[in-house]
Amino acid sequence: MSKNTNRGETRGALIVVEGLDRAGKSSQCEHLRDYLQESGHSVKYVRFPDRTTAIGKLIDSYLRGQSQLDDHSIHLLFSANRWEVAKDIKADIAKGITVIVDRYSYSGAVYSAAKGIPTLSLDWAWQPEVGLPRPDMCLFLRISLQRPQSGAGLAWNGMRTKPCRAVYANSSRLYLTCNPTATSTL
């Protein structure tokens, strides 16, 4: 998508799509992938968590309610899952492949910090993300918190409970404080 000044080759881009659950991230990633492919670009679509990796399988077990983990531990596993794939993302971009990512570091930091645990602040949550590939573009899909969403696919079972709605609303607020293009910790 841009020239690699080292060899005159075209460099791919890292495009991240973020947003709350049920905002349409996957659909928009698929539309963007299809559009770029039809325009002649090489594209790879990545979703986090990547449940196919060793760490991704631990995360999958947690998300299915089959294992219990401390909030700090699961946050670090989500970050480690991104690190498992980081080398491949860098290599693809260097080969001219545009990588579209459905959820990335912003989701990880925001969802953990939104739980309101004093020792799990947004600053703390950003630290494991330092050094990951920086997005060339980050798109945030915003949805209304007033309109109830379908329960399928929500990150927390029981999203209709008051504590879960508070985390969801807090996540929305925290996303708006993250300006991906100005974030120096990523």
Residue 147 maps to a domain = yes
Residue 47 maps to a domain = yes
Residue 183 maps to a domain = no
Token pair 């990588």 in the structure block, residue: 99
- pLDDT tens-digit map of 86-116: 999 999 999 999 999 999 998 888 888 888 8
Residue 73 maps to a domain = yes
Residue 186 maps to a domain = no
Residue 61 maps to a domain = yes
**H helix or E strand, kind and range, residue 98:** strand 98-102
State the residue range of the domain holding 124. 2-177
* Statement: residue 15 has pLDDT above 70: yes
Residue 25 maps to a domain = yes
pLDDT of residue 77: 98
CATH classification of the domain holding 21? 3.40.50.300
Q: 121 is written with which tokens? A: 């602040």
Residues 6+ apart with CB under 8 A from 149: 21, 22, 143, 159
Residue 116 maps to a domain = yes
- Which pTM value belongs to this model? 0.78
The number of folded domains in the chain is: 1
153, amino acid identity? G
- pLDDT tens-digit map of 124-182: 999 999 999 999 998 888 766 555 455 444 444 444 444 455 555 666 555 555 554 43
